[in-house]
Amino acid sequence: MPPTAITPREKRGSRVKLAGSILALVVLESGRQIRGRMNQLSVNGGLAAFEQPLDEGIRVTVLFHVGGTSVRCRAQLMFPMWATQGCLQPFRFLELPEESRAGLTRELEAMVRAGASQAEEEAE
């Protein structure tokens, strides 16, 4: 049996803790708009704070501004977690355009260089 090649994992993008400093707008498929605040953000998705939880698995459009980058893309909501004020709802980007991905990467890396707190890596 031939040996299995082990490829090094790509470096994971920065996940930055924002503590609600970035406002976000979530647009449901019905057109209803819900405002929230970003708690964590990466190029793969994030964690937003809302007053009430939204249904797990629904697809929404997420809009927010980070520095000089505006992001508007489709996302899927994951299981919400209750917090001391409202709830925290993770989401993952579904269709993040390359231009938005590049801009978001630049902004997050700039935040890390400026001393922003990074989220801990998940146990693997």
CATH of the domain at 105: 2.40.10.220
Q: Please tell me the total count of domains within the chain.
A: 1
Is there a domain that residue 23 lies in? Answer: yes
- How far is Cα 104 from Cα 13, in angstroms, rounded to an integer? 10
CA atoms of 62 and 91, how far apart (whole Å): 9
Residue 40 structure tokens:
């964590």
- Interatomic CA distance for residues 120 and 124, integer angstroms: 12
Which domain covers residue 98, as residue numbers?
A: 16-112
- pLDDT tens column, 89-116: 999 999 899 999 999 999 999 988 887 6
Residue 75 in any domain: the answer is yes
The pLDDT, as a whole number, for residue 6 is 45
Q: What's the pLDDT tens digit per position in 17-58?
A: 988 789 999 999 999 999 999 999 999 999 999 999 999 999
